[in-house]
Amino acid sequence: MTERVYNFSPGPAVLPLKVLEEAQRNLVALPQIGISPLEISHRSPWFQGVLDETEANLRRLLAIPDHYRIVFMQGGSRLQFSLVAMNLLRGTGRSADYVVTGSWGQMAMQEAAREGTARAAYNSKPHNFDRLPQHGELELDPRARYVHLTSNETIQGVQFQSDLDAGGVPLVADLSSDFLCRPLDMSRYGLIYACAQKNAGPAGVTIVILRDDVLAQIDEGLPTMLDYRSFVKEKSLINTPPVFAIYLVMLVTRWLLDDVGGLAAMLEINRRKAGLLYDVIDGSRGFYRGHAQPNARSLMNVTFRLPDDATQDEFVKQAKARGLVELKGHRSVGGIRASIYNAMPMAGVEKLRDFMREFARL
Ligand SMILES: *Cc1c(COP(=O)(O)O)cnc(C)c1O
């Protein structure tokens, strides 16, 4: 068998080995059925079971109450930038608040502006997206249709440390890169979306969780495939959904429940993993410089710089020779980014930590 390396890619990203092995075992023929999950009908009882279990597992993991719906969509999180605004912001005199803490939030706000008034209630771009709003910095409009935030800014490595309180205004959150990394207080959220390929499965499916009162605000007239209500009504089966991708999300949620022991346990592990890398950064006497301010640091994407570009290139090259790959930062910010999602084993992070120490001669 080919050796696996430690893949620190921001997405598509590492998946639990157990999930890959199970998918591999069943790839040619599902037990008792004899059909591949790549071939099977989306109207089959097997796939209905997959949809039901994935939803039930998500409800258990996140303690999602009954007045929330879960749907599986396509088009990635970028389509959600538009759908949120098409479903909730279209119409005269409406406005939405955007809390912009990084590149993805900025893009979400730009897309929303095509549909209506999208206001920046906070924008840390002048600070190069290295921080979160501090007390009193958030200027929320109580009449806004919703408040949008990006829970974890994947490119900058800036993550909200707790669930924001948006008052009575529905909170809409892009959880693409930290979905299922920790428990959530669901009561705070009106709508959550997360493409699967960072922390929940492969590319091709986006998980959307919506509260009934938010659904009730959607006006008639949207195309069926762009209307959240049709996905709820048809239980994600309007047309052919990404069967295989949803099957893998089911296996990932099963892994989180059965092997990890739930999201509180996952959070503990994620804190330990991220702590290993941030400790090296903080103890490096300035050799490694973290991008995010310490109180905004992401558990999922650890971003930092080295003294100069040549040293950075050398770092990436030597890391790769040790089986530590995809560490180069996003082209828009440079530097190094180590994405250490749920499925990145502790051993991979320890190996990166050891390499970072050695490279900096610590
Ligand atoms: C990756 C990412 C997106 C874009 O996801 P696509 O599925 O590629 O459209 C949006 N928001 C965040 C926070 C992301 O990490």
Q: For 275-299, what is each residue's pLDDT tens digit?
A: 999 999 999 999 999 999 999 999 9
Average pLDDT over residues 63-92: 97
Q: What is the pLDDT of residues 228-249, one digit of tens each?
A: 999 999 999 999 999 999 999 9
**Two tokens, residue 124:** 């840390």
pLDDT band at 251 (very low <50, low <70, confident <90, very high): very high
Query: Which of 154, 160, 249 for mutating ligand 1's site (highest number of atoms within 8 Å of CB)?
Result: 154
Same domain, yes or no, for 235 and 306? no
How far apart are the C-alpha atoms of 158 and 130, rounded to whole Å? 7
Residue 175 included in any domain:
yes
Asked if 125 is an active-site residue, the reply is no
- Quick one: pLDDT band at residue 332, thresholds 50, 70, 90? confident
Q: Does residue 334 carry a pLDDT above 90? A: no
Query: Does residue 334 belong to any structural domain of this protein?
Result: yes
**Among candidate residues 234, 259, 284, the one where a domain is terminated:** 259
Task: Mark whether 332 and 249 lie in a shared domain.
Answer: no
1 pLDDT higher than 70:
no
Percent of the chain with pLDDT over 90: 96
Asked whether residue 11 is assigned to any structural domain, the reply reads no
Of 97, 130, 178, 198, which residue is the catalytic one?
A: 198
Q: Which of 232, 259, 286 is the last residue of a domain?
A: 259
Per DSSP bridges, beta strands 301-305 and 289-290 are: antiparallel
pLDDT value at 310 more than 90: yes
From the candidates 97, 104, 163, 273, give the one annotated as an active-site residue: 104
Distance between CA 341 and CA 346 in Å, rounded? Answer: 11
CA of 28 to the centre of ligand 1 (A): 31
Indicate the average pLDDT of the chain. 97
What is the average pLDDT across 124-128?
97
The pLDDT of residue 269 is above 90 = yes
Question: Is residue 255 annotated as part of the catalytic site, yes or no?
Answer: no
* Residue 198 annotated in active site: yes
Confidence at 135, pLDDT banded by 50, 70, 90? confident
Q: What span, in angstroms and rounded, lies between the C-alpha atoms of 122 and 142?
A: 15
Residues spanned by the domain of 354 = 262-359
pTM over 0.75: yes
DSSP string, 49-84: HHHHHHHHHHHHHHT--TTEEEEEESSHHHHHHHHH
Residue 6 in domain? no
The CA 329 to ligand 1 mean position distance, Å, reads 16
Residue nearest to atom 5 of ligand 1 (CA): 77
Q: Annotate 73-90 with b (16+ C-beta within 10 A) or e (fewer).
A: bbbbbebbbbbbbbbbbb
The neighbouring-strand residues paired with 153 are 158
Extract the tokens encoding 60. 């258990």
Question: What is the number of domains present in the chain?
Answer: 2
Task: Please write the tens of the pLDDT for every residue from 139-161.
Answer: 999 999 999 999 999 999 999 99
Here the CATH number for the domain that contains residue 195 is: 3.40.640.10
Instruction: Name the pLDDT band for 362 (thresholds 50, 70, 90).
Output: confident
Measured at the CA of 196, the angle between CA 185 and CA 162, to 5 degrees, comes to: 25
Q: Are 180 and 256 in contact (CB under 8 A)?
A: yes
Atom of ligand 1 nearest to the CA of 79: 9
Neighbours of 5 (CB within 10 A): 14
Which of 213, 238, 259 delimits the end of a domain? 259
Ligand 1, atom 4: nearest CA belongs to which residue? 77
137 and 248 together in one domain = yes
pLDDT digit string, tens, across residues 2-56: 789 999 999 999 999 999 999 999 999 999 999 999 999 999 999 999 999 999 9
Which residue type occupies 35?
Answer: I
Rounded to the nearest 5 degrees, what angle is found at the Cα of 62, between the Cα atoms of 253 and 215? 110
Q: How far apart are the first and last CA of the chain?
A: 36
